Chains A and B, each alone.
Chain A
């Protein structure tokens, strides 16, 4: 099973700042990594697929990068609605499909 480790667990920033979230895989997942955003009381929403492709309707301030075992989600300038929990997910070597444990993005 591929384990995805996200860091940091919590990131405290202010609107307008740049956010950098990390996801590390226990073995290579090539570029087959997705990122999701989850707000309280809501289901996760797909942001990024195949490491760097924005899903439909996702603002350009969200970008993804990386390949192999190290991946980054960057939010270039935080908007108030971006404060949420973010998860990475792989579907390379499965079953099982696995998710990271999440990074909580909090207001500073």
Chain B
């Protein structure tokens, strides 16, 4: 059974950098049939896709955050990570990591989510 688990700080100060990690179990992040994503959820904007990473290293970002975000892969740890720089209050959200299934064009496995608040 494939499982994803997010980890990271629950509180980040404005203008600092948010770093989150997703640990994958039951599947390899180097598998070619899937891509790895970060998605966040807020009461105001709903679900917002942030970034996508393929095992080849190919990345795609949401234009809304592209200048501030990096997604990366650590195959040795079977993890992928998100960094979001210069955070503002509007980055306060529930952050999910998710597995995208290339054949289904959908996210078929999600982590439980981790809440991140941006506040001084």
Contacts and interface: CB of A to CB of B under 8 A. Distances in A.
A61 to B, nearest CB: 20
Q: Which 9 A-B pairs have the closest CB atoms?
A: A34-B106, A43-B110, A99-B47, A97-B49, A49-B104, A49-B106, A96-B62, A91-B105, A101-B46
B67 interface: no
A92 B64 CA distance: 18
Interface of A: 1, 32, 34, 36, 42-46, 49-50, 53, 55-56, 87, 89, 91-92, 94-102
- Main SS class of interface, A: loop
11 contacts: A43-B110, A43-B112, A43-B113, A44-B47, A49-B104, A49-B106, A49-B108, A55-B106, A89-B106, A91-B100, A96-B64
B48 A99 contact: yes
A44 B48 CA distance: 13
Given A45-B110, A99-B47, 13 more contacts: A34-B104, A34-B106, A43-B113, A44-B107, A49-B101, A55-B106, A56-B108, A87-B47, A96-B49, A96-B62, A97-B62, A102-B46, A102-B47
Interface string B91-120: 000001010110011111011110000000
Contacts of A1: 63
Contacts, number: 68
Nearest to A42: B112
Contacts of A102: 46-47
B49 A55 contact: no
Interface of B: 37, 46-49, 52, 60-64, 96, 98, 100-101, 104-108, 110-113
Given A87-B47, A96-B49, A96-B62, A55 B112 contact: no
Contacts of B64: 96
Contact of A96 (B63, B98, B107): B63
Contact of B107 (A42, A46, A95): A46
Contacts of A53: 104
